[in-house]
Structure 1
Amino acid sequence: MHTTIYQLLAIGVFVLMGCFSSHSQQHFQQLDSVFAPWDSPNHPGGAIMVVQNNTTIFSKAYGLASLEYDIPNTTKTRFNIGSISKQFTAMGIVLLEQQHKLSFDDDIRKYLVELPDFGETITIRHLLHHTSGLRDLHGLLALAGWRATDIATNEDLYRVLQNQKDLNFKPGEEFLYCNTGYILLAKIIERVTNSSFPTWMKNTIFDPLGMQNTYVAAKPDRIVTNNATSYNGNNPFRRAIEHWGYYGSGNIYSTTADLMLWLQNFIHPKKEWSDAFSTLVTTTPLHNGYQTNYGFGVRIEEHLGKKMIQHGGAVGGYRAVARVYPEEHVQIVILTNFSNSGMGSKLNAITNIIFDTEESTVITTPKTQQSTNYATLSNQQLSKFEGIYWSDEEKYGRKIYIKKDRLRYETPSGVAYPLVPINASTFQLINVGEYVLLHFETANKVPKITVSIPNQIPGSLTLHQTIASDNSTDPRAYIGAYYSPELKTTYTILQEQTEVYCEHIRHGKIKLKRVFDDIYAGTWPVDTVEIKRDANSNVIGMKISNGRTRNVWFRKID
């Protein structure tokens, strides 16, 4: 009788093991097929690792680490992880806070006394959450003359920052992703510990967590074994600059296995690390109460109805993502050495397989919510809202005008959407796939529009000019040289026949396209040019913006 029971139990165990093995094998084959195209001849690739319930269900490398020498990627190959590095810098700050060597709410000038006083207190917490208002280093250095292929170091950024006069916004009022902040956090760590950032990170974070193949690349010319080379393009591939010369916001090299050692602490942290990892996933609301999803170097989001902690990285041709579903005990790491790796679709495919979903790679547009009650306004009532409005924060403009007894909302490209009145001053924007409301405030000295979209911070536009004055300026008034004391560089605006250009000694001629009166659009790094005039309408300078760098002042000198 006992023998029979033991035999049945043994059969049950083998059946369960067989089912588990079959299920794991099916997952492996499905995941392998997702990345099989990377194994084409003379093709870069990457390394992927998926862990579920503390068990590795997939780990494999594809393609070449070096096209020049025909060296394959392996699961031990190191890749630059780009902005995934930020959570390690944040952890350094968290550990110092636990040791009472600093406070998240300290003024950063307590440690970086050479930084200018912007008239606003910027705290360490602001840097961690990307709410400092500091201009991003990429836009600043590009405007100063750096090209994408130039090596910019931490010292280069410190030097430029010391000349800055303005912020993008008041600290705590907006969220705007900012690499500058994390470079300053690295500097704070160095000042507080009296140690170099790469050495301190190795001794304090990487080695204690067993991340023996992870390091901070502080020197671009350092030779390290098992590093993948990065590439751009797609048959033929081209060499890509492998990393910038700065650290803190990026430039950590790691492997899939090392990153898994890190990620598991978001699920089952080591006892001495528990509080620190919990701190990484805390957020702080903006001054207006809006809660962002950015913690300390990580994003806390929801995906497929599941809590997700993640961050991505991109530098040169490297692309990387480290993702955790803490409640499902799932960790995903993808590291690649070519820019056209299709990271988004690959991630969707992995989660579809792991969670047995049918998520599409195409994001569907939600149906527009309709208001139940619309108002009726005459053309005379509508006419007071007409004009060209401009957002100084987001650098975009809209033309509001009447056509066929209805107010229209037109983009600079000429696409117009109808505005339907909810009441005497609030309108719903129709046919845009979202429930968008525009509230007009015409009693102000300068009329203003507040734009509201569900689950987003409200935006605003102010009246820039009347419809009647559209296209009334003569670009010949702009011609001349413009100097930035903040960047110590000069741009020249010139006109050739009917075309207007902005020229720089390193970037050459950048064609400008008129958007509205005294506002022009160009290409990187001169994305938006706003001409400024004095009380007599004489041109006195211009402000240039490019995404995360806003309103850099250039004084007209010629």
Structure 2
Amino acid sequence: MKPETKTLLKGKQKAKIEHTKSLIKGLFSPFILPAFALFFTGYSAVAQDKTAEVDKVFSWASKETPGCVCAVSQNGKVVVNRAYGSADLEREVPLDLNSVFDIGSVRKQFIAAATLLLVEEKKLSFTEDIHKYLPELPDYGQKITLDHLLTHTSGIRDWTGLLPLANGKPEAITLILRQRGLNFKPGEEWSYSNSGYVLLVEIVSRTTGMPFADFARKRLFEPLGMKSTTYVTDMTAAVKNRALGYEKTKDGWKLDMYLGNDRGGGAILSTATDLLLWNNALSTNRLGAFVTEKLQEPAKLNNGRKLGYARGLFLETYRGVKEVWHSGGAAGYHTWLGRFPEQGVSVAVLCNSDAKPATGLAERIVDQFVTYADSQPAIASTPPALTAEALEEVKGKTGLFFNEKTGEPLRLAVDRDRFRIANGPGLVPVGKDRYRRFGAFVQFMSQDEFELHFLSPDQFELKSMEGKTSKYRRAQPFTPTSADLQAYSGRYQNDEIGAFFDMDTVNNNLMGRANDAPAPGFEFKPVSKDTFQLGGITLRFVRDKAGKVVALDYSNPVVRNMRFTRSGDQASSR
């Protein structure tokens, strides 16, 4: 998974909304509802046994906790459809089969499908420069096509990585259009970017002359019978049967819902059964052969390498079985939707808290319904401990390394006889001086697949899923003096997002804060000369020929080397 980026400003917006739901009537407990037929006619003893196993997966949910709705279909027939936990803790309203959730990035496959409908009708083109549709987009000196946006290969910075720095609350589209640089040359790499799909929504709307919500309703939701699915841009609008989102804190459950209208590309609210209707449509070509095929066609880089991503969908092999899936997270909402087309199995898990990751729950559900090849290993949660010989081999390979091109830091460590990326996945030996991410081929998040090849104890190559090879070199220890820190102090500005950093020296520590955030800010730790880090944020200070610090380059997991120029000598120390 992507590393978490610590922001320098106030955290996510939370608010209460007034919400009323009818209490569920019936013979069964309203907090664990039985399966209902959606498009099936029988309920076998085998299905009942499977349902009992599914119930165990969600046994943690009760009327006093948020929960999940889980639905499973086999060959187009729903065999499990269950609700667990509460939709509204304050009013004691249970989740039910009609509960509506914000499905987060699962919406990307719907945006992609809407785009593909227009490509099929010759109203859009895969290969056309997107400036044709968005003339106000800056000239990056590179051609960016519609397909680059669909496949996350455009290089456009992810707006979610820019928002914490932006002054005010600009809309996502505004923030994207301000950018003057790319993370990489289009088609050269793969990097998940919400920005591409924000632009696609805008392109579809301009091309059709109608709001994206109307187009999606007329061309996708209504034809497929998805009666409880809506595309919304006003997150404060009342939505029938919406489950509230929550987060668990030390003080108990608190509402966790994104209600800001600056959210990029809007949101799709849906139910588990509607999502199975969508999966069934993909399995039966109800969207037409062209759209169905292109949604699931592996993307390619400029070098011809095929990716494990298509257009709005991940394409993986899970324990030897083909899998098509996507997950989504939006504040307290977490969703997983996947298909195993060779076996006719579809699974939808929609949750209204972060108490249990939807992806992990989905893994356990999938295991009940998918038959795996005998030769495939079972999923393990941790890598195996290294032998004494292997531990000796990795001794000289631990420590802090830096990407030679981007400055991205990566720390390797040994923890309980296991070699791993610090605070990240484990690494297992696959050959001399070669290590692979543990679980890359059997776990759901295999888009994070990579392999390390050590060229020397102080340098290694990292080969990622998309075929990109990056060189990392060991960081040289740096203990800055007071004079060193003073050289970094001052204000740094970036006009693209209208933001600035104030860097100050406080008690021999380098403190940073953005946009008049309260002093003293956050401490950035030195990791090498001119490079400091805070969580997933890296600052690299830039010097002129005379050696004076004149700028800093800001990077996080989805933004690379955004230049902030020093605006004058405003250094301070305390």
**Alignment TM-score, normalising by the size of structure 2:** 0.78
Q: What is the match of residue 120 of structure 1? A: 142
Contact 1:345 1:361 in 2 (8 A): no
Contact 1:482 1:554 in 2 (8 A): yes
Amino acid at match of 2:505: Q
User: 1:282 offset after TM fit, Å?
Assistant: 0.8
Q: What is the match of residue 62 of structure 1? A: 84
Q: 1:36-185 counterparts in 2 under 5 A?
A: 36-38=59-61, 40-145=62-167, 156-185=171-200
Amino acid at match of 2:45: S
Does residue 215 of structure 2 align to residue 215 of structure 1?
no
Contact 2:327 2:359 in 1 (8 A): no
User: 1:465 offset after TM fit, Å?
Assistant: 8.0
Q: Which stretch of structure 1 is more off in the superposition, 137-146 or 78-87?
A: 137-146
Secondary structure of the residue aligned to 1:537 is coil
Does residue 284 of structure 2 align to residue 268 of structure 1?
yes
Task: Tell me the alpha carbon deviations over residues 483-519 of structure 1, each in whole angstroms, 9 at most, x when there is no partner.
Answer: 1111112211001111110122464412100010000
Q: 1:82-481 counterparts in 2 under 5 A?
A: 82-145=104-167, 156-233=171-248, 236-245=252-261, 249=265, 251-270=267-286, 273-355=288-370, 359-360=378-379, 362-364=381-383, 390-393=403-406, 395-396=408-409, 428=433, 436-439=452-455, 451-453=461-463, 457-461=467-471, 474-481=484-491
Q: What is the match of residue 522 of structure 1? A: 534
Amino acid at match of 1:91: A
Cα distance between partner residues in 1 of 2:472 and 2:58: 49
Amino acid at match of 1:202: R
Secondary structure of the residue aligned to 1:260 is helix
Q: What is the match of residue 149 of structure 1? A: none
Cα distance between partner residues in 2 of 1:522 and 1:488: 22
Distance 1:398 1:73, change over 3 A: closer
Contact 1:78 1:228 in 2 (8 A): yes
Contact 1:298 1:310 in 2 (8 A): yes
Distance 1:462 1:353, change over 3 A: closer
Contact 2:120 2:290 in 1 (8 A): no
Number of aligned positions between the proteins:
489
Q: 1:474-553 counterparts in 2 under 5 A?
A: 474-505=484-515, 507-508=517-518, 509-523=521-535, 527-553=537-563
Q: Which stretch of structure 1 is more off in the superposition, 530-539 or 53-62?
A: 53-62
Cα distance between partner residues in 1 of 2:341 and 2:265: 25
**Structure 2: gaps spanning 5 or more residues:** 1-41, 413-418, 439-449, 569-574
Cα distance between partner residues in 2 of 1:98 and 1:431: 40
Task: Tell me the alpha carbon deviations over residues 228-265 of structure 1, each in whole angstroms, 9 at most, x when there is no partner.
Answer: 11001167111112355356656100011111111012
User: 1:343 offset after TM fit, Å?
Assistant: 2.1
Q: What is the match of residue 8 of structure 2? A: none
1:35 to 50, 58, 61: 58
Q: Over the residues paired in the alignment, what is the CA RMSD in angstroms?
A: 3.4
Cα distance between partner residues in 2 of 1:530 and 1:435: 26
User: 1:180 offset after TM fit, Å?
Assistant: 0.4
User: 1:394 offset after TM fit, Å?
Assistant: 6.6
Amino acid at match of 1:171: P
User: What is the identity percentage for the equivalent residue pairs of Structure 1 and Structure 2?
Assistant: 28
Cα distance between partner residues in 2 of 1:430 and 1:301: 21
User: 1:274 offset after TM fit, Å?
Assistant: 2.8
Secondary structure of the residue aligned to 1:513 is strand
Contact 1:243 1:315 in 2 (8 A): no
Cα distance between partner residues in 1 of 2:141 and 2:499: 25
Distance 1:455 1:182, change over 3 A: closer
User: 1:113 offset after TM fit, Å?
Assistant: 0.4
Q: Which stretch of structure 1 is more off in the superposition, 485-494 or 238-247?
A: 238-247
**Alignment TM-score, normalising by the size of structure 1:** 0.80
Q: Which stretch of structure 1 is more off in the superposition, 227-236 or 44-53?
A: 227-236
Cα distance between partner residues in 2 of 1:355 and 1:432: 25
Larger C-alpha radius of gyration, 1 or 2?
A: 1
Cα distance between partner residues in 1 of 2:410 and 2:87: 45
Q: What is the match of residue 404 of structure 1? A: none
Q: What is the match of residue 379 of structure 1? A: none
Secondary structure of the residue aligned to 1:474 is helix
Contact 1:216 1:247 in 2 (8 A): no
Contact 1:229 1:242 in 2 (8 A): no
Contact 1:82 1:250 in 2 (8 A): no
Cα distance between partner residues in 2 of 1:520 and 1:46: 41
Contact 1:528 1:546 in 2 (8 A): yes
Distance 1:518 1:42, change over 3 A: same
Secondary structure of the residue aligned to 1:279 is helix
Cα distance between partner residues in 2 of 1:199 and 1:192: 13
Cα distance between partner residues in 2 of 1:537 and 1:256: 59
Distance 1:134 1:268, change over 3 A: same
Cα distance between partner residues in 1 of 2:464 and 2:245: 40
Contact 1:243 1:316 in 2 (8 A): no
